[in-house]
Structure 1
Amino acid sequence: MPPQNTQPKYRQIAEYLREGILNGTYPAGQPLPSEETLAKQFGVTRPTVRQGLTELRASGLVEVIMGRGTFARSPQTRPSHTRPRGIRRTPDGGYVEADGIRWANAEPPVATRTDAPLALADLLRIPPGEPMFTYDALQTADNGRLRQLHRTYVPFSVLIDTKYEEEAPPPAPELYAALGDLGHELHFTEYIRTRMPLPDQAQALRLPEGVPLLHITRVTLTATEKPLALEEFHLPGDDLELSFRL
């Protein structure tokens, strides 16, 4: 006689669906059985079914689309979008992103003053608390289908004895040309990690529950590896992969 399953019913439902998603019974993008069907199958109420689905949403294995139902999201499925990372020079001396995407700011970014937190100060090799020009932008492309949050930091100390002591420098990517005009040969280093979004980030990027962020930190450096500026990019991490030429 097989051992009796002593797990709570909602967890049994979650495990049943998780196994079906991982073994391909429910392919990515396909609808899962309805709440009513699962409730009858397991002899429970619909709120119990929803509790099991909530577990799967938190782990990123299902997506609930209002008015359409609940859909599988397999971790083995290749993302729909592949974006090359990097920066290239244009013939006129400008800088463009390697992915060629033309981003538009939802609103014109405005320079604000912030004090460098410890983690960013370490990357920029400046004292914690040093003032910085900071720009924030929600950027969209492809008629709003693609979204990212972009933040630019420029330490005040980088701008000493330049015209930008009297006026704010432009945000990236225009910042690169401005730094080049100051005589710097630019190089870039990126750091990439994932984390769960803050509530305002999830709202701005329209992220379903359980979807992580790709958090990219880009440091702009001189030829002698002196940091000049830092950028942060936050992108949806559910249907996107990044590629690099080595």
Structure 2
Amino acid sequence: MTSADSRTFAVRHVQLARAAFAAIAALMITFSPDHSAAVGSAVFSGFAIATGLVLLLSVWLVYPAGRRWPAAAIGGVTVAAGMASGLYPLRTVAGYFAIVIVWALLSGVLELIAGWRGLAGRRERREIAPGIADARPAVPAGPRSESRDGAVIGAITILLGIGLLFVQPAYALDYTIEEAHATFTLTGITIGVGLFGGYAAIVAVYLGIAGFSPRTADTAAVTAEPETAASFTAESATADAPASADPTPQKDSA
């Protein structure tokens, strides 16, 4: 069985790739003077498709059996949202808000649940009733840092969706900058695209730091059952101990 350390790609590579695509999206929105629905949808489409493909590839290249469903689910939802946002008829104000909000809430909940389950799976099992042990099969748990990062990114993504729900797409506010002798209009779509740009910047920084942070190697006892780990330790100690001499003294033959 291939261990996590022997794989060519690891979780840190997935995090760094996601951070890179999020940084590109944040820079494109930040330095673009046009925050229209067409530009926002195009940037989100590229970000979502690239991020989703990375997650889908990680299903085979990074994660072992038993830990693949979060990457597959989140990657599939993200690719679908990116492809929908790339359709020209949906590059409208209403289309932008609908697609990004649905994606943010759905993918955020999935990633938050996956992170929470990863953290909860590392806790010791307890009895479900006095004298009755929990007989449910153990779910393989990944590194604690990976589960924590997934829960944080999931929560931030949910906050993006909630924030966009409070933005009125038809909002418009005219304001004048005296120094520039010009009048500008702040619209709902400008705020919506800006919120996504801020979200992408936060994700880029967080996942970039997480990807470059040192990680401790996982031990076999992390994913093993408590009883299995204890028995393995006892068997190892018995096998490594030298054979004891017979305590009964032998009589010399006459």
TM range (shorter): under 0.3
Output the TM-score relative to the length of structure 1. Answer: 0.24
Output the TM-score relative to the length of structure 2. Answer: 0.23
By percentage of residues, which structure has more strand?
Answer: 1
- Rg: which structure is higher? 2
